[in-house]
Structure 1
Amino acid sequence: MKKICSFIICSFIIFSSIVIGSAYSYAAEGNSELAPEAKSAILIERDTGSILYEKNSHEKLPPASMTKVMTMLLIMQAIDKGTLSWNEKVRTSEYAASMGGSQIFLEPGEEMTVEQMLKGIAIGSANDAAVAMAEKIAGSEESFVAMMNKEAKALGLKDTHFQNTTGLPVKDHYSSAYDMAIMAKELLKYEKITKFTGTYEDYLRENTDKKFWLVNTNKLVKFYPGVDGLKTGFTNEAKFCLTATAKKNNMRIIAVVFGAPSTKVRNAQVSKMLDFAFSQYVTHPLYKSGQSLGEVKVSKGEKKYIHAVTSEPISVLTKRGEKSDNIVKTKTFRKNLKAPIHKGDIVGTLTVQKDGKVLVKSDLVAKENVKSAGWWKLFKRSFGLFTQN
């Protein structure tokens, strides 16, 4: 009996050692020295959202000017919806002009186009331009911040709460590496954003005596091939932060670092993360953003059908040398869609699986607006007298 008990105890100890050893190895791999001097970090592939590396990725920390990733996201959404245009003039309020920190020195009453303001935000991290755009879109910074928090909730972010549009230090303003990566993933659906975030230098107020030179706060745009965004951040509390993205061949990577001790360390750790991703993984594209995957029936609309298009690039990620076969793609369309339908409304879902495992699940959206049909059109249609869509 004693021998049996001894055997059971020894077996338990050995089994426990194996389990603990495996957990430690996994944790050690997850926290391998890609970002040892950062408070938190994460590395994801954009199209699939696959996490390639993470360290304290859900820790709530001050994001500093990385806050402007969400600010830029709401700007791009407004442009995409047509409620804002690139050439539309934006007037600077007294409040917006009073912002400290990084700025383009807007004067009260000064006007710039949406495109010029976005340049100031994306390249120069301009706090004054961020507030001016917030007031343009929502009427006030407070209302825009409410939109930011609403969008964060819609994206399923649980470690984020905003108090301003700029990232200037304030109580109860925080995010996490994971949440910031998801915001960046969403922002990169709007492919034009990298035209701004990937520009190293530009000018505002050209052909005036107040010509202003913009230099990108993200130096990797110039010094790391493929980097074209997204946003740096620094305050004394937050230290040096960066949400970066780079694209090589078909693969786009997002790397986030919070709380690095210096610009040099921050850039070195992000570079190391990007090197790791590009050397170890391969992206296999399936669909482009905006590609039609079928038509969905719409009731009581001026059109009977609407194209369901991809809302983002769809790809499969594998390790180098691994096959990407046995892929199953499933489209499901919403039933009982009723006009009016707005461009970008969710009308279906695309699911990509391999060996029964879901790799990607992405929204299919309406390609265009569909207005409600008038009563006369519906009347004729009901009698089969109206055959056009």
Structure 2
Amino acid sequence: MEKKKREYGKQVITLALCILFIAGLILGAAGIIPTVGKQPTEEMVPAAGYILAGQEEDKEKNSTNIQLYARSAVLMDADSGRVLFGKNENERMPMASTTKIMTCILALENGNMEDMVTVSSYAAGQPKVHLGMREGQQFRLKDLLYSLMLESHNDSAVAIAEHIGGSVEGFAKMMNRKAEEIGCSDTWFITPNGLDASAADDEGDERVHSTTAKELARIMRYCIEESEKKEEFLEITRTQSHFFSDAEGKSSYSCNNHNAFLSMMDGALSGKTGFTNNAGYCYVGALRRDGKTFVVALLACGWPNHKDYKWSDTRKLMQYGLENYEYRDVYEQPELSPLTVEGGVPDSGRPYDGAYAKISVKEQDQELQLLLKDGETVEKKIRLPHTLTAPVESGSEAGSIEYYLDGELIREYTIITDDDVEQMDFRWIAGYIWSLYAL
């Protein structure tokens, strides 16, 4: 009896050793042993009609020759934020009273329109153009915003800044923080009214109150497209006239909109003029027509007596956008092949067959409409590793598809796995061999 037990034990041990040996061979052949816990290097794998990242051809950007008076100018697609035309668009320059679009949107976002604003001596002492307020007077914040945007009153700007930010300096910090939030790295606010000024920044470097045409357009885009107070901003800036009194009802005031662009072109949406001796005439405005929204920003667009240069440039740029750009749906459903899963259990259940995971674009908005002109093309790039490493869970992020226009990323779509793939470990191999032996 004891002899039979010893013989049976030897058979079990021999079988176990055989299983381990065969498992080792299978695991080695499957590439598991050297790759367990090691993630493959991510590389670009091509799919039909797609260009690999880093392998795209250099293409010369279409140049458009538009003669403008402005030293710096931008035509921007307000939907995407893409610059459709630029002239010295990244040059820092003073922007005068176009500053007040930032003052207005910050007051709308951080204040109560029925708040009573008390006028300080500093606010009352601001130079023209001004409302003519007196120290100690009180006004509704809402009324001062109409004064700010329709008549461009400098004293109203300071009164608003002191009320919202506690001081002009505190409000300037809010302005710069908001500018940074919306992607403006070359903009520096010092005053809420746009009067020429210089001051040290946080690093101690002397800077002047300035922006770029591109970033001024970006700020306007935020005001009319992205801010939670965009409707209130548009209502104020499109109003032709506004009448109000101070809190005591002793003094009455009237404001008329000086943005001539509102009656110049169909679809004119909003805008703000500006002028100082250093900045020259400046303007930022928006237009919406036929489902397209454009923003124009102009800096240093003439000095006296050339007040109308800004209207000529604005019309020219808006007309260029309307006539040359149309929306096109550029999204294409990609053909994605399954990815090899190293160390994965094949669907067949046979260890020497390859394991694969199907992949697809994650369910999301798969429409991509871009404002394009004739001849413009979109580059599509796919980013995927050559292989995945088991285990793989369905719904895991595997890569991405990116759409580029003029070298800038416009939209990114996530590619996910559609299958669960189990890891082919020793336990699974042992079970597989045992099942063969049992048969």
Provide the TM-score with structure 2 as the length reference: 0.58
Match of 2:263, SS state, is helix
The higher relative CO (CA closer than 8 Å, separation ≥ 6) is in 2
Equivalence for 1:181: 217
1:204 lines up with 2:257 in the alignment: no
Per the alignment, do residues 46 and 355 of structure 1 end up closer, same or farther by CA in structure 2, a change over 3 Å counting? closer
Alpha carbons 2:328, 2:372 under 8 Å: kept: no
Residue identity opposite 2:268 in structure 1: V
Compared CA separation, residues 276 and 168, structure 1 to 2 (3 A): same
Q: Does 1:240 align with 2:281?
A: yes
1:67 Cα deviation after fit: 1.1
> What is residue 95 of structure 1 aligned with on the other side?
122
Q: Separation in 2 of the partners of 1:353 and 1:183? A: 26
Note the 1:4-15 alignment, pairs <5 A. none
| Structure 1 unaligned residues grouped into runs of 5+ | 1-21, 79-83, 286-313, 328-350, 362-389
Q: Percent identity?
A: 24
Deviation at 1:100, TM superposition (A): 0.8
Please show how residues 1-389 of structure 1 align to structure 2 within 5 Å.
26=62, 29-30=63-64, 32-35=65-68, 37-78=69-110, 84-171=111-198, 172-188=208-224, 189=226, 190-205=230-245, 210-261=251-302, 262-283=306-327, 316-319=369-372, 358-360=409-411
Query: What's 2:432 paired with?
Result: none
Partner SS, residue 286 of structure 2: strand
Contact persistence 1:243–1:255 (CA under 8 A): yes
2:66 counterpart letter in structure 1: E
Alpha-carbon distance in 1 for matches of 2:76, 2:105: 18
State the AA in 2 paired with 1:74: L
Cα distance change, pair 58–322 in 1 and its aligned pair in 2 (3 A) = closer
How far the C-alpha of 1:243 sits from its partner, in A, is 0.4
8 Å CA contact 1:199–1:228 kept in 2: the answer is no
Q: CA RMSD in A?
A: 3.2
Go from structure 1 to structure 2 and tell me whether the alpha carbon gap of 1:174 and 1:352 turns closer, same or farther (over 3 Å shift).
Answer: farther
Counterpart CA distance in 1 for 2:196 and 2:323 is 37
The equivalent residue for 1:16 is: none
Measured after TM superposition, the shift of residue 95 of structure 1 is: 1.1
Maintained 8 Å contact 2:117/2:159: yes
Name the SS for the 1:43 alignment partner: strand
Instruction: Give the C-alpha shift of residue 231 in structure 1.
Output: 1.1
Q: 1:161/1:152 Cα in 2 relative to 1: closer, same or farther (>3 Å)?
A: same
- Pairwise CA distance, 1:45: 1.0
1:212 deviates by 2.4
Checking the alignment, whether the CA contact within 8 Å between 1:39 and 1:258 is kept in structure 2 is yes
Q: Is the 8 A contact 1:160 1:176 kept in 2?
A: yes
Task: Give 1 or 2 for the bigger CA radius of gyration.
Answer: 2
What is the number of equivalent residue pairs in this alignment?
280
Shift of residue 58 of structure 1?
A: 0.8
| Structure with the largest fraction of strand | 1
How far has the Cα of 1:200 moved from its partner?
2.5
* Stretch of structure 1 that moved more, 122-131 or 51-60: 122-131
**Gap runs ≥5 in structure 2:** 1-58, 199-207, 330-366, 381-399, 413-439
Deviations 1:219-242 (A, max 9, x none): 111222222222111011111100
CA distance in 1, matches of 2:374, 2:91: 34
Q: Is the 8 A contact 2:70 2:301 kept in 1?
A: yes
Structure 1 residue 209, shift from structure 2 partner: 7.0
- The Cα of 1:352 is off from its aligned counterpart by 10
After superposition, what is the alpha-carbon deviation per residue over 1:137-163, rounded to whole angstroms, capped at 9, x for unaligned?
A: 111111111111222222232221111
C-alpha separation between the residues in 2 aligned to 1:284 and 1:107? 55
Equivalent-residue separation in structure 2 for 1:230 and 1:255 (angstroms): 9
In 2, distance between residues paired with 1:129 and 1:182? 24
Q: CA deviation at 1:316?
A: 3.0
Specify the alignment match of 1:307 in structure 2. none
The question of whether the paired residues in 1 share the 8 Å contact of 2:119 and 2:138 is answered with yes
TM-score by length of 1: 0.65
C-alpha distance in 1 between matches for 2:128 and 2:265: 26
SS of 1:175's partner is coil
Q: Which amino acid aligns with 2:131?
A: I
Change in 2 beyond 3 A, CA 1:195/1:34:
farther
Separation (CA, whole Å) in 1 of partners of 2:175 and 2:319: 32
